[in-house]
Protein backbone atom coordinates (compact mmCIF):
# COMPACT_ATOMS: atom_id res chain seq x y z
CA UNK A 1 0.00 0.00 0.00
CA UNK A 2 2.83 2.32 0.88
CA UNK A 3 4.56 1.65 -2.43
CA UNK A 4 1.40 2.29 -4.42
CA UNK A 5 0.95 5.57 -2.56
CA UNK A 6 4.51 6.66 -3.41
CA UNK A 7 4.03 5.87 -7.07
CA UNK A 8 0.69 7.61 -7.13
CA UNK A 9 2.22 10.68 -5.46
CA UNK A 10 5.05 10.71 -8.02
CA UNK A 11 2.58 10.48 -10.89
CA UNK A 12 0.57 13.50 -9.75
CA UNK A 13 3.62 15.52 -8.72
CA UNK A 14 3.55 17.57 -11.91
CA UNK A 15 -0.19 18.17 -11.74
CA UNK A 16 -0.18 20.06 -8.42
CA UNK A 17 1.73 22.96 -10.01
CA UNK A 18 -1.32 23.82 -12.15
CA UNK A 19 -4.34 24.68 -10.02
CA UNK A 20 -7.40 26.76 -10.66
CA UNK A 21 -6.91 30.53 -10.47
CA UNK A 22 -8.42 32.39 -7.50
CA UNK A 23 -12.09 33.06 -8.06
CA UNK A 24 -12.50 30.27 -10.64
CA UNK A 25 -14.47 27.18 -9.81
CA UNK A 26 -13.01 24.66 -12.26
CA UNK A 27 -9.34 23.64 -12.34
CA UNK A 28 -7.46 24.36 -15.53
CA UNK A 29 -5.57 21.68 -17.43
CA UNK A 30 -1.88 21.57 -16.45
CA UNK A 31 0.38 23.31 -18.93
CA UNK A 32 3.09 21.35 -20.67
CA UNK A 33 6.41 21.51 -18.79
CA UNK A 34 9.12 23.71 -20.24
CA UNK A 35 11.92 21.57 -21.67
CA UNK A 36 15.39 23.00 -21.02
CA UNK A 37 18.82 22.11 -22.30
CA UNK A 38 21.92 23.05 -20.35
CA UNK A 39 22.40 26.01 -22.67
CA UNK A 40 18.85 27.18 -21.95
CA UNK A 41 19.44 26.80 -18.22
CA UNK A 42 22.62 28.86 -18.39
CA UNK A 43 20.85 31.63 -20.31
CA UNK A 44 18.02 31.76 -17.79
CA UNK A 45 20.38 31.75 -14.82
CA UNK A 46 22.44 34.60 -16.29
CA UNK A 47 19.29 36.70 -16.55
CA UNK A 48 18.43 36.13 -12.89
CA UNK A 49 21.70 35.81 -10.93
CA UNK A 50 22.16 38.93 -8.77
CA UNK A 51 25.92 38.50 -8.40
CA UNK A 52 26.44 38.29 -12.15
CA UNK A 53 24.06 41.16 -12.88
CA UNK A 54 25.90 43.28 -10.31
CA UNK A 55 29.25 42.49 -11.97
CA UNK A 56 27.83 43.31 -15.42
CA UNK A 57 26.45 46.58 -14.06
CA UNK A 58 29.88 47.44 -12.65
CA UNK A 59 31.43 46.76 -16.06
CA UNK A 60 28.89 49.05 -17.74
CA UNK A 61 29.58 51.77 -15.18
CA UNK A 62 33.32 51.39 -15.79
CA UNK A 63 32.70 51.88 -19.51
CA UNK A 64 30.88 55.12 -18.75
CA UNK A 65 33.86 56.21 -16.64
CA UNK A 66 36.08 55.63 -19.68
CA UNK A 67 33.81 57.77 -21.87
CA UNK A 68 33.87 60.53 -19.27
CA UNK A 69 37.68 60.38 -18.99
CA UNK A 70 38.03 60.69 -22.76
CA UNK A 71 35.61 63.60 -22.83
CA UNK A 72 37.62 65.38 -20.13
CA UNK A 73 40.57 65.64 -22.56
CA UNK A 74 38.57 67.57 -25.11
CA UNK A 75 37.47 71.22 -24.96
CA UNK A 76 34.12 71.78 -23.29
CA UNK A 77 31.63 74.48 -24.27
CA UNK A 78 28.98 76.08 -22.09
CA UNK A 79 26.68 79.08 -22.03
CA UNK A 80 26.39 81.44 -19.09
CA UNK A 81 23.81 84.15 -18.50
CA UNK A 82 24.07 86.59 -15.55
CA UNK A 83 22.36 89.76 -14.43
CA UNK A 84 24.23 91.92 -11.88
CA UNK A 85 22.06 94.53 -10.18
CA UNK A 86 24.02 97.12 -8.18
CA UNK A 87 22.62 99.64 -5.72
CA UNK A 88 23.26 103.17 -6.92
CA UNK A 89 24.80 105.94 -4.77
CA UNK A 90 22.78 108.79 -6.28
CA UNK A 91 25.88 110.56 -7.58
CA UNK A 92 27.99 108.30 -9.83
CA UNK A 93 26.51 106.18 -12.64
CA UNK A 94 28.66 103.17 -11.67
CA UNK A 95 26.77 102.36 -8.46
CA UNK A 96 28.20 101.45 -5.06
CA UNK A 97 30.38 98.46 -6.15
CA UNK A 98 33.65 99.20 -7.86
CA UNK A 99 33.61 95.93 -9.81
CA UNK A 100 30.65 97.13 -11.87
CA UNK A 101 30.58 100.12 -14.19
CA UNK A 102 26.82 100.61 -13.97
CA UNK A 103 23.77 99.90 -11.90
CA UNK A 104 22.71 97.22 -14.40
CA UNK A 105 25.21 94.70 -15.89
CA UNK A 106 24.26 91.89 -18.27
CA UNK A 107 26.50 88.89 -19.07
CA UNK A 108 25.76 86.54 -21.94
CA UNK A 109 28.80 84.34 -22.49
CA UNK A 110 29.68 81.30 -24.51
CA UNK A 111 32.65 79.69 -22.70
CA UNK A 112 35.20 77.19 -24.04
CA UNK A 113 37.36 75.41 -21.43
CA UNK A 114 40.45 73.30 -22.09
CA UNK A 115 42.66 71.47 -19.58
CA UNK A 116 45.98 71.07 -21.40
CA UNK A 117 47.53 68.95 -18.64
CA UNK A 118 44.87 66.23 -18.95
CA UNK A 119 45.05 66.33 -22.76
CA UNK A 120 48.83 65.90 -22.79
CA UNK A 121 49.26 63.21 -20.12
CA UNK A 122 46.23 61.04 -21.11
CA UNK A 123 46.56 59.11 -17.85
CA UNK A 124 42.87 59.55 -17.06
CA UNK A 125 41.57 57.53 -20.04
CA UNK A 126 44.31 54.93 -19.57
CA UNK A 127 43.33 54.49 -15.92
CA UNK A 128 39.65 54.27 -16.84
CA UNK A 129 40.41 51.73 -19.59
CA UNK A 130 42.30 49.55 -17.11
CA UNK A 131 39.39 49.80 -14.67
CA UNK A 132 36.96 48.80 -17.42
CA UNK A 133 39.09 45.79 -18.33
CA UNK A 134 39.20 44.80 -14.67
CA UNK A 135 35.41 45.12 -14.32
CA UNK A 136 34.81 43.12 -17.50
CA UNK A 137 37.16 40.39 -16.30
CA UNK A 138 35.35 40.21 -12.98
CA UNK A 139 32.03 39.96 -14.80
CA UNK A 140 33.43 37.07 -16.85
CA UNK A 141 34.68 35.40 -13.67
CA UNK A 142 31.18 35.69 -12.21
CA UNK A 143 29.65 34.35 -15.44
CA UNK A 144 31.92 31.30 -15.48
CA UNK A 145 31.40 30.67 -11.79
CA UNK A 146 27.65 30.77 -12.35
CA UNK A 147 28.07 28.30 -15.22
CA UNK A 148 29.69 25.81 -12.83
CA UNK A 149 26.91 26.30 -10.29
CA UNK A 150 24.17 25.81 -12.89
CA UNK A 151 25.96 22.82 -14.43
CA UNK A 152 26.24 21.19 -11.01
CA UNK A 153 22.56 21.79 -10.26
CA UNK A 154 21.46 20.71 -13.75
CA UNK A 155 23.30 17.40 -13.66
CA UNK A 156 22.43 16.85 -10.02
CA UNK A 157 18.81 16.81 -11.17
CA UNK A 158 19.61 14.48 -14.05
CA UNK A 159 21.53 12.16 -11.74
CA UNK A 160 18.65 12.30 -9.26
CA UNK A 161 16.19 11.34 -11.98
CA UNK A 162 18.38 8.45 -13.09
CA UNK A 163 18.85 7.22 -9.54
CA UNK A 164 15.12 7.53 -8.97
CA UNK A 165 14.51 5.35 -12.03
CA UNK A 166 17.14 2.88 -10.80
CA UNK A 167 15.53 2.75 -7.35
CA UNK A 168 12.12 2.22 -8.92
CA UNK A 169 13.47 -0.61 -11.06
CA UNK A 170 15.21 -2.14 -8.03
CA UNK A 171 11.95 -1.93 -6.08
CA UNK A 172 10.08 -3.68 -8.88
CA UNK A 173 12.75 -6.38 -9.01
CA UNK A 174 12.63 -6.82 -5.23
CA UNK A 175 8.85 -7.21 -5.41
CA UNK A 176 9.14 -9.77 -8.19
CA UNK A 177 11.77 -11.75 -6.31
CA UNK A 178 9.65 -11.58 -3.15
CA UNK A 179 6.74 -13.05 -5.09
CA UNK A 180 9.00 -15.78 -6.51
CA UNK A 181 10.38 -16.59 -3.07
CA UNK A 182 6.92 -16.75 -1.51
CA UNK A 183 5.81 -19.09 -4.29
CA UNK A 184 8.84 -21.32 -3.80
CA UNK A 185 8.31 -21.22 -0.03
CA UNK A 186 4.73 -22.37 -0.39
CA UNK A 187 5.96 -25.25 -2.54
CA UNK A 188 8.58 -26.19 0.02
CA UNK A 189 11.42 -25.56 -2.41
CA UNK A 190 13.17 -22.93 -0.27
CA UNK A 191 13.28 -22.36 3.48
CA UNK A 192 11.00 -19.75 5.03
CA UNK A 193 14.06 -17.72 5.95
CA UNK A 194 14.44 -16.87 2.26
CA UNK A 195 11.00 -15.29 2.31
CA UNK A 196 11.94 -13.27 5.39
CA UNK A 197 15.15 -12.14 3.71
CA UNK A 198 13.33 -11.23 0.48
CA UNK A 199 10.71 -9.27 2.40
CA UNK A 200 13.47 -7.40 4.25
CA UNK A 201 15.16 -6.61 0.94
CA UNK A 202 11.86 -5.31 -0.41
CA UNK A 203 11.49 -2.99 2.60
CA UNK A 204 15.03 -1.75 2.08
CA UNK A 205 14.31 -0.98 -1.56
CA UNK A 206 11.14 0.86 -0.56
CA UNK A 207 13.19 3.11 1.70
CA UNK A 208 15.84 3.62 -0.99
CA UNK A 209 13.07 4.52 -3.46
CA UNK A 210 11.68 7.17 -1.12
CA UNK A 211 15.15 8.61 -0.49
CA UNK A 212 15.86 8.74 -4.23
CA UNK A 213 12.61 10.60 -4.82
CA UNK A 214 13.43 13.08 -2.06
CA UNK A 215 16.89 13.70 -3.51
CA UNK A 216 15.42 14.22 -6.99
CA UNK A 217 12.80 16.67 -5.69
CA UNK A 218 15.40 18.65 -3.75
CA UNK A 219 17.62 18.82 -6.84
CA UNK A 220 14.68 20.20 -8.82
CA UNK A 221 14.11 22.85 -6.17
CA UNK A 222 17.78 23.85 -6.22
CA UNK A 223 17.73 24.26 -10.00
CA UNK A 224 14.42 26.14 -9.97
CA UNK A 225 15.91 28.74 -7.62
CA UNK A 226 18.61 29.48 -10.18
CA UNK A 227 16.42 29.54 -13.29
CA UNK A 228 13.08 31.18 -12.47
CA UNK A 229 12.23 34.44 -10.75
CA UNK A 230 8.75 33.13 -9.95
CA UNK A 231 10.09 29.77 -8.68
CA UNK A 232 8.45 27.60 -11.33
CA UNK A 233 8.96 23.84 -10.95
CA UNK A 234 7.03 22.86 -14.06
CA UNK A 235 10.02 22.14 -16.28
CA UNK A 236 11.95 19.19 -17.66
CA UNK A 237 15.64 18.89 -18.47
CA UNK A 238 17.21 17.17 -21.46
CA UNK A 239 19.32 14.17 -20.50
CA UNK A 240 22.61 14.70 -22.35
CA UNK A 241 24.91 13.08 -19.80
CA UNK A 242 26.32 10.70 -22.41
CA UNK A 243 26.85 13.49 -24.97
CA UNK A 244 29.71 15.32 -23.29
CA UNK A 245 32.29 16.98 -25.51
CA UNK A 246 35.69 15.40 -25.96
CA UNK A 247 38.61 16.56 -23.84
CA UNK A 248 41.13 18.52 -25.96
CA UNK A 249 44.86 17.91 -25.77
CA UNK A 250 46.67 19.62 -22.90
CA UNK A 251 48.68 21.93 -25.15
CA UNK A 252 45.42 23.25 -26.64
CA UNK A 253 43.99 23.73 -23.16
CA UNK A 254 47.13 25.56 -22.10
CA UNK A 255 46.95 27.92 -25.08
CA UNK A 256 43.29 28.66 -24.40
CA UNK A 257 44.06 29.40 -20.75
CA UNK A 258 46.78 31.88 -21.70
CA UNK A 259 44.36 33.73 -24.01
CA UNK A 260 41.01 33.42 -22.27
CA UNK A 261 41.60 33.25 -18.52
CA UNK A 262 39.66 36.08 -16.81
CA UNK A 263 41.51 35.78 -13.49
CA UNK A 264 44.81 36.48 -15.20
CA UNK A 265 43.24 39.29 -17.21
CA UNK A 266 41.82 40.83 -14.04
CA UNK A 267 45.16 40.64 -12.24
CA UNK A 268 46.98 42.27 -15.17
CA UNK A 269 44.37 45.01 -15.37
CA UNK A 270 44.63 45.65 -11.63
CA UNK A 271 48.41 45.98 -11.97
CA UNK A 272 48.09 48.41 -14.89
CA UNK A 273 45.62 50.49 -12.91
CA UNK A 274 47.95 50.55 -9.90
CA UNK A 275 50.89 51.63 -12.08
CA UNK A 276 48.81 54.44 -13.57
CA UNK A 277 47.80 55.51 -10.06
CA UNK A 278 51.49 55.99 -9.31
CA UNK A 279 51.86 58.07 -12.48
CA UNK A 280 48.83 60.18 -11.58
CA UNK A 281 50.17 60.76 -8.07
CA UNK A 282 53.53 61.90 -9.47
CA UNK A 283 51.88 64.27 -11.92
CA UNK A 284 50.60 66.27 -8.97
CA UNK A 285 54.15 67.68 -8.66
CA UNK A 286 53.93 69.14 -12.19
CA UNK A 287 52.39 72.51 -13.13
CA UNK A 288 48.87 72.45 -14.54
CA UNK A 289 47.76 74.62 -17.46
CA UNK A 290 44.16 75.51 -18.29
CA UNK A 291 42.52 78.00 -20.65
CA UNK A 292 39.04 79.55 -20.69
CA UNK A 293 37.84 81.62 -23.65
CA UNK A 294 34.55 83.54 -23.34
CA UNK A 295 32.69 85.21 -26.19
CA UNK A 296 29.57 87.35 -25.71
CA UNK A 297 28.56 90.55 -23.99
CA UNK A 298 29.04 92.14 -20.57
CA UNK A 299 27.33 95.51 -20.71
CA UNK A 300 24.96 97.86 -18.90
CA UNK A 301 22.25 97.02 -21.44
CA UNK A 302 21.11 93.81 -23.06
CA UNK A 303 22.11 94.93 -26.56
CA UNK A 304 24.88 94.67 -29.11
CA UNK A 305 25.61 98.41 -28.71
CA UNK A 306 25.01 100.57 -25.63
CA UNK A 307 26.32 103.57 -23.75
CA UNK A 308 28.79 102.79 -20.96
CA UNK A 309 27.58 104.20 -17.67
CA UNK A 310 31.07 105.33 -16.69
CA UNK A 311 31.55 107.27 -19.96
CA UNK A 312 28.21 108.35 -21.35
CA UNK A 313 29.84 111.07 -23.45
CA UNK A 314 31.42 108.41 -25.71
CA UNK A 315 28.02 107.42 -27.06
CA UNK A 316 26.95 103.88 -28.00
CA UNK A 317 29.83 101.40 -28.14
CA UNK A 318 29.97 97.75 -29.32
CA UNK A 319 29.34 95.20 -26.57
CA UNK A 320 30.01 91.89 -28.37
CA UNK A 321 33.55 90.56 -27.88
CA UNK A 322 35.80 87.98 -26.21
CA UNK A 323 38.28 87.60 -23.43
CA UNK A 324 40.62 84.72 -22.47
CA UNK A 325 41.92 83.46 -19.14
CA UNK A 326 45.02 81.25 -19.18
CA UNK A 327 45.96 79.80 -15.79
CA UNK A 328 49.27 78.17 -14.81
CA UNK A 329 49.22 76.52 -11.42
CA UNK A 330 52.65 75.63 -9.99
CA UNK A 331 52.62 73.51 -6.81
CA UNK A 332 55.06 74.76 -4.17
CA UNK A 333 54.34 73.34 -0.72
CA UNK A 334 51.70 70.99 0.67
CA UNK A 335 53.30 69.55 3.84
CA UNK A 336 54.17 66.27 2.13
CA UNK A 337 50.66 65.33 1.01
CA UNK A 338 51.68 64.67 -2.60
CA UNK A 339 54.68 62.58 -1.55
CA UNK A 340 52.43 60.55 0.72
CA UNK A 341 50.02 59.89 -2.14
CA UNK A 342 52.89 58.68 -4.31
CA UNK A 343 54.08 56.27 -1.60
CA UNK A 344 50.51 55.09 -1.09
CA UNK A 345 50.11 54.37 -4.81
CA UNK A 346 53.44 52.54 -4.89
CA UNK A 347 52.34 50.27 -2.02
CA UNK A 348 49.19 49.37 -3.93
CA UNK A 349 51.22 48.73 -7.07
CA UNK A 350 53.54 46.36 -5.18
CA UNK A 351 50.53 44.51 -3.77
CA UNK A 352 49.06 44.20 -7.26
CA UNK A 353 52.35 42.67 -8.41
CA UNK A 354 52.17 40.10 -5.62
CA UNK A 355 48.57 39.25 -6.47
CA UNK A 356 49.43 38.84 -10.15
CA UNK A 357 52.21 36.40 -9.28
CA UNK A 358 49.87 34.44 -7.00
CA UNK A 359 47.22 34.36 -9.72
CA UNK A 360 49.71 32.97 -12.22
CA UNK A 361 50.76 30.21 -9.83
CA UNK A 362 47.17 29.36 -8.99
CA UNK A 363 46.30 29.28 -12.69
CA UNK A 364 49.06 26.76 -13.41
CA UNK A 365 48.00 24.58 -10.49
CA UNK A 366 44.28 24.68 -11.34
CA UNK A 367 44.89 24.10 -15.02
CA UNK A 368 46.84 20.91 -14.38
CA UNK A 369 44.57 19.78 -11.55
CA UNK A 370 41.32 20.31 -13.45
CA UNK A 371 42.72 18.67 -16.56
CA UNK A 372 43.86 15.61 -14.61
CA UNK A 373 40.46 15.43 -12.93
CA UNK A 374 38.74 15.51 -16.33
CA UNK A 375 41.08 12.85 -17.70
CA UNK A 376 40.47 10.58 -14.73
CA UNK A 377 36.70 11.05 -14.91
CA UNK A 378 36.68 10.37 -18.64
CA UNK A 379 38.71 7.17 -18.26
CA UNK A 380 36.50 5.93 -15.43
CA UNK A 381 33.28 6.33 -17.41
CA UNK A 382 34.12 3.44 -19.74
CA UNK A 383 35.06 1.18 -16.82
CA UNK A 384 31.90 2.09 -14.92
CA UNK A 385 29.78 1.35 -17.97
CA UNK A 386 31.43 -2.06 -18.31
CA UNK A 387 30.89 -2.74 -14.59
CA UNK A 388 27.22 -1.83 -14.94
CA UNK A 389 26.78 -4.20 -17.87
CA UNK A 390 28.49 -6.97 -15.92
CA UNK A 391 26.33 -6.32 -12.84
CA UNK A 392 23.19 -6.44 -14.97
CA UNK A 393 24.22 -9.78 -16.46
CA UNK A 394 25.16 -11.05 -13.01
CA UNK A 395 21.67 -10.28 -11.68
CA UNK A 396 20.02 -11.95 -14.65
CA UNK A 397 22.05 -15.13 -14.20
CA UNK A 398 21.55 -15.26 -10.43
CA UNK A 399 17.82 -14.77 -10.90
CA UNK A 400 17.71 -17.76 -13.22
CA UNK A 401 19.89 -19.81 -10.87
CA UNK A 402 17.70 -18.94 -7.87
CA UNK A 403 14.53 -19.99 -9.66
CA UNK A 404 16.29 -23.24 -10.60
CA UNK A 405 17.34 -23.81 -6.99
CA UNK A 406 21.04 -23.38 -7.72
CA UNK A 407 21.59 -20.06 -5.88
CA UNK A 408 20.71 -18.75 -2.45
CA UNK A 409 18.62 -15.71 -1.64
CA UNK A 410 21.74 -13.96 -0.37
CA UNK A 411 23.43 -14.33 -3.75
CA UNK A 412 20.34 -12.87 -5.42
CA UNK A 413 20.18 -9.95 -2.98
CA UNK A 414 23.89 -9.27 -3.42
CA UNK A 415 23.49 -9.27 -7.20
CA UNK A 416 20.62 -6.81 -6.99
CA UNK A 417 22.56 -4.52 -4.63
CA UNK A 418 25.58 -4.74 -6.90
CA UNK A 419 23.55 -3.68 -9.93
CA UNK A 420 21.98 -0.72 -8.13
CA UNK A 421 25.38 0.44 -6.95
CA UNK A 422 26.91 -0.01 -10.42
CA UNK A 423 24.16 2.02 -12.09
CA UNK A 424 24.44 4.82 -9.56
CA UNK A 425 28.23 4.81 -9.84
CA UNK A 426 27.98 5.07 -13.62
CA UNK A 427 25.62 8.04 -13.37
CA UNK A 428 27.91 9.68 -10.81
CA UNK A 429 30.84 9.11 -13.15
CA UNK A 430 29.05 10.86 -16.01
CA UNK A 431 28.21 13.80 -13.75
CA UNK A 432 31.79 13.93 -12.48
CA UNK A 433 33.12 14.24 -16.02
CA UNK A 434 30.62 16.99 -16.84
CA UNK A 435 31.58 18.96 -13.73
CA UNK A 436 35.27 18.45 -14.46
CA UNK A 437 34.77 19.97 -17.91
CA UNK A 438 32.81 22.86 -16.40
CA UNK A 439 35.60 23.57 -13.90
CA UNK A 440 38.18 23.42 -16.67
CA UNK A 441 36.17 25.88 -18.77
CA UNK A 442 36.34 28.45 -15.96
CA UNK A 443 40.01 28.74 -16.91
CA UNK A 444 39.90 28.22 -20.67
CA UNK A 445 36.46 29.35 -21.78
CA UNK A 446 34.09 27.13 -23.72
CA UNK A 447 35.68 24.48 -25.95
What domains, with CATH codes, occur in the chain?
A: 39-73+127-286+337-444 (1.20.1600.10), 75-121+287-330 (2.20.200)
Tell me what pLDDT residue 4 has.
39
- CA dist., res. 341 & res. 282, Å (int): 8
* CA angle (21 as vertex; 19, 24 as ends), nearest 5: 110
Query: Other C-beta atoms within 10 Å of 380: how many?
Result: 18
Q: From residue 197, how far is each of 171, 364, 379, 412, 414 by CA, in Å? A: 15, 54, 38, 11, 12
Q: For each of the chain's 447 residues, which pLDDT tens digit applies?
A: 334 334 433 433 433 333 333 334 344 556 788 999 999 999 999 999 999 999 999 999 999 999 999 998 899 999 999 988 888 777 777 776 767 777 888 889 999 999 988 888 889 999 999 999 999 999 999 999 999 999 999 999 999 999 999 999 999 999 998 998 998 888 888 889 888 988 999 999 999 999 999 999 999 999 999 999 988 899 999 999 998 889 999 999 999 998 989 999 999 999 999 999 999 999 999 999 999 999 999 888 889 998 877 777 888 889 899 989 999 999 999 999 999 999 999 999 999 999 999 999 999 999 999 999 999 999 999 999 999 999 999 999 998 998 888 888 888 889 999 999 999 999 999 999 999 999 999 999 988
Q: What pTM was estimated for this model as a whole?
A: 0.81
- CA dist., res. 370 & res. 219, Å (int): 25
Amino acid sequence: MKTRFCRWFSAIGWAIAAVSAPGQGAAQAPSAPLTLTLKDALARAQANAPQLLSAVSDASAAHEDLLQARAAQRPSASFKSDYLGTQGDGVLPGGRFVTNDGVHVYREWGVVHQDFTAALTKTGPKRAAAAETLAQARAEIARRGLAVTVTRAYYALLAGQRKYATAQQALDQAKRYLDITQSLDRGGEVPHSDTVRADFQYSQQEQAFEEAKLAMDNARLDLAVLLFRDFDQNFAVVDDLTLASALPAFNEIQSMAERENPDLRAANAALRAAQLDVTIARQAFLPSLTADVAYGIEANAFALHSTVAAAPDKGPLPNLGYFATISLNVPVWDWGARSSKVRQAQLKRDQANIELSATQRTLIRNLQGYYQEAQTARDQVDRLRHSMDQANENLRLNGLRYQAGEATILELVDAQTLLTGARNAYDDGLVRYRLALANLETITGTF
